[in-house]
Amino acid sequence: MGTGTLRLILGDQLTRSIASLSGIDADKDVVLMVEVMAEATYVPHHKQKIAFLFSAMRHFAEVLRSEGIKVDYVRLDDEDNSQSFDGELRRAVARHAPEQVVVTEPGEWRVWQMMQEWTETLPVPLAIRADDRFFCSRGAFARWADGRRQFRMEFFYRDMRRQTGLLMEGANPVGGQWNFDHDNRRRLPADIDVPALPRFSPDAVTREVIALVGDRFGDHFGALDGFGWAVTREDALRALDHFIGNRLPFFGDYQDAMRRGEDFVFHAALSPYLNCGLLTAREVCNRAEAAYEAGEAPLNAVEGFIRQILGWREYVRGIYWTQMPGYKDGNRLGAKRRLPDFYWSGKTDMVCLAESIRNTRDNAYAHHIQRLMVTGNFALLAGVDPKEIEDWYLLVYADAYEWVELPNVHGMVMFADGGLLASKPYAASGAYIHRMSDYCGSCRYDPNLKTGEAACPFNPLYWNFLIENEVALKGNPRMAMPYKTLERMTQDRRAEIRTDADAVFKRLGLN
């Protein structure tokens, strides 16, 4: 007798309440989970990212089995593994002869295309269910975006606050304002202690996965030593508890701050768990709101944290699904330089970059200011080809999936969409990094020098970026002040900037 329903669960769908598990019949249905080489290598993902997901998948499968659900789990090293979603689904259909296949819509366009093909070519019916773990469905965002020439997160975020009631008093925002971002830009004082982020010792399952990843993906970027990510829902909830009780109260003030040797500062580091499904956005936002209501965390911290999830995370997902597949092909500023080698090696005299890349290598993580204003800012100013830096972000971070990575990098970091997502390029000189970190104090370059070999490379690159992109950016109202400054510069000063920038490019082999 055949199977009732074959239910495919992807590696970023590790949520017991996922739509594709709704209504499961443990007596008749089978859950299919697969580890395949194609997903680990479409970009060569960070070794910790692969280990995190494979271990979390194996633990999730055991949770389902403990409920009496039959799980058909294909491991990477299984002898007959075809090493692709398509191959493994078709083999499973042949094994189980189900009446139908049920899936939840995926996070990435390429998998969505695959699912569309399955509806036509599988020998049994395929049902694709909406992913209801997000506050805003793909259709709802499309309706919000319809007719808008530019999308702005702030307006979307306010609508989401109204719809969900989070941090609302009737029709008004708690505290009388929607956004406390201006209160959240403090430098981290030298005498403030940062609580250690909880790390979880690998169990036997995780140790087995780490050995597998070291053997099969040894040439991929990143370190496996010190792996400490939660791979179960129980441990992910412990990580959430720790953040709410120990880090959230200070998150608002210091969310933009950086300190050498502090890889997480007061950030939650919950995004890997949110994006693979071990935690849900609703429960995380509800916990943060409850902390404010109980007087355990200030409003600026809680609002800033909720805005990242309810606002930004939902917003970039909506951008992705309304703009794909053509979104990734834009290159508004015509950037063409290759990615510098130090993005892989971490070997650079620029301490901010060396520290951010070391953190990325060691943890498959860096917080949003390290990503946007250090590694991202340099790629923007250097005119790196958007596709090169987009691939880098997609492969190096444990929380990176194309739906969240591509809009953040293509639109926010590289301004490659010409302003659809962000109202201006997030370009900055060395002064910003000096203001928000202690990196410059131990760097051979001086952020206060504008010219010469000892000047911080961000300084000539910033002004060179404005010169190179003057035609494209001068009319942007939010760029008016730097362009007024540029207008006052003499031709000799402009030439000096170009010479210093060329020297930076030459040192990096980017001429």
Pairing of strands 100-104, 168-169: unpaired
Averaged pLDDT, 363-389: 97
* Residue 67: other Cβ atoms inside 10 A: 10
Concatenate the DSSP letters of all residues of 257-308 into one string: -BBTTBSSTT----HHHHHHTSS-HHHHHHHHHHHHHTTSS-HHHHHHHHII
* Residue 55: other Cβ atoms inside 10 A: 25
| CATH topology for the 138-202+222-321 domain | 1.25.40
281-323: per-residue pLDDT in tens? 999 999 999 999 999 999 999 999 999 999 999 999 999 999 9
Per the structure block, which two tokens stand in for 124?
A: 């049994």
* DSSP H helical ranges for 181-231: 204-216
Architecture of domain 342-508: Orthogonal Bundle (1.10)
152-169: per-residue pLDDT in tens? 899 999 999 999 999 999
Per the structure block, which two tokens stand in for 90?
A: 């078709």
In angstroms, rounded to a whole number, what is the distance separating the alpha carbons of residues 296 and 74?
A: 45
pLDDT of residue 425: 95
Q: What is the CATH number of domain 5-129?
A: 3.40.50.620
High-pLDDT (> 70) share of the chain, %: 100
- Is the pLDDT at 362 greater than 80? The verdict is yes
Q: Write out the E strands in 330-377.
A: none
In terms of residues, how long is the chain? 511
Burial 117-141 (b: 16+ CB within 10 A, else e): ebeeebebebebeebebbbbbeebb
Non-local CB neighbours of 153 within 8 Å, separated by 6+ positions: 311, 312, 315, 421
- Tokens 């395929």 label which residue? 126
The three-state secondary structure class of 32 is: strand
Please, which pLDDT band fits residue 1 given cuts at 50, 70 and 90?
low
DSSP state of 217: S
- Is the pLDDT at 509 greater than 90? The verdict is no
Averaged pLDDT, 258-281: 96
High-pLDDT (> 90) share of the chain, %: 94
Instruction: Supply the pTM of this predicted model.
Output: 0.96
165-211: per-residue pLDDT in tens? 999 999 999 999 999 988 778 899 988 999 999 999 999 999 999 99
Per the structure block, which two tokens stand in for 237?
A: 């909830």
pLDDT of residue 505: 94
428-473: per-residue pLDDT in tens? 999 999 999 999 999 999 999 998 899 999 999 999 999 999 999 9
Averaged pLDDT, 75-99: 97
The three-state secondary structure class of 491 is: helix
- All structural domains of the chain with their residue ranges: 5-129, 138-202+222-321, 342-508
Same fold, 138-202+222-321 and 342-508: no
- Is the pLDDT at 270 greater than 80? The verdict is yes
